[in-house]
């Protein structure tokens, strides 16, 4: 083998050893790594209509504490969440049956989880939860309502959930 090639190889090995040795001299007897992760905030609401919600035979007779839905609130935000209600016809937290033919109306009150709704905010909690709550309505008898063909009196209640 050529002396120049041998000398060059020896020089390269020595240089590599100098790079490795200082690192080995600084090695510790223990080391650590911090591993982090997160769980995204997730808030969901499910509204299941009760069998009594559709096709009420005669709203002019009135109704008391009629179960119309079950709402399941699910939110993992440690700060909590809020649930709100808005009626399409009433434009508020109250309900309003409205006939799509005659425009006649019949107001109703909403009960959420056993309490009469008195504002658009139904639930305002400071912790995560997964709970189901009944939605019930009550309305007075009103024999002056216009007769309808089919089920033309309707109201849509919309429930929304928001993380804090």
Is residue 3 in a domain? no
For residue 6, what pLDDT is reported?
47
For residue 47, what pLDDT is reported?
98
Is residue 27 in a domain? no
Residue with structure tokens 């799509």?
Answer: 100
Domain of residue 111, CATH code: 2.60.40
User: What are the b/e assignments for 1-25, b being 16+ CB within 10 Å?
Assistant: eeeeeeeeeeeeeeeeeeeeeeeee
For residue 71, what pLDDT is reported?
98
Q: Are 43 and 72 in contact (CB under 8 A)?
A: no
Cα–Cα distance between 33 and 56 in angstroms, integer?
64
Q: Hey, is 18 helix, strand or coil? A: helix
Is residue 15 in a domain? no
Is residue 143 in a domain? yes
Cα–Cα distance between 57 and 144 in angstroms, integer?
16
Q: Which domain holds residue 137?
A: 43-159
Provide the number of structural domains found in the chain: 1
Residue ranges of the chain whose pLDDT lies below 70: 1-25
Cα–Cα distance between 9 and 3 in angstroms, integer?
10
Is residue 70 in a domain? yes
Global pTM value: 0.78
Is residue 66 in a domain? yes
Is residue 72 in a domain? yes
Q: Are 153 and 106 in contact (CB under 8 A)?
A: yes
CA atoms within 13 A on the CB side of 20: 6
Pairing of strands 157-163, 81-87: antiparallel
């Amino acid at each position: 083998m050529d002396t120049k090639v041998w000398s060059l190889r020896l020089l390269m090995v020595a240089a590599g050893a100098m790079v490795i040795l200082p690192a080995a001299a600084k090695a510790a007897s223990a080391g650590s790594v911090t591993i982090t992760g997160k769980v995204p905030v997730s808030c969901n609401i499910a509204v299941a209509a009760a069998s009594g919600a559709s096709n009420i035979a005669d709203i002019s007779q009135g109704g008391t504490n009629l179960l119309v839905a079950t709402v399941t609130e699910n939110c993992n935000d440690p700060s909590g969440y809020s649930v709100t209600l808005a009626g399409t016809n009433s434009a508020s937290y109250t309900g309003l049956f409205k006939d799509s033919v005659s425009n006649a109306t019949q107001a109703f009150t909403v009960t959420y989880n056993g309490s009469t709704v008195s504002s658009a905010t139904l639930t305002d909690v400071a912790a995560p939860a997964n709970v189901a709550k009944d939605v019930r309505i009550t309305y007075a008898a009103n024999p002056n309502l216009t007769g309808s063909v089919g089920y033309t009196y309707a109201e849509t209640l919309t429930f929304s959930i928001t993380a804090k």
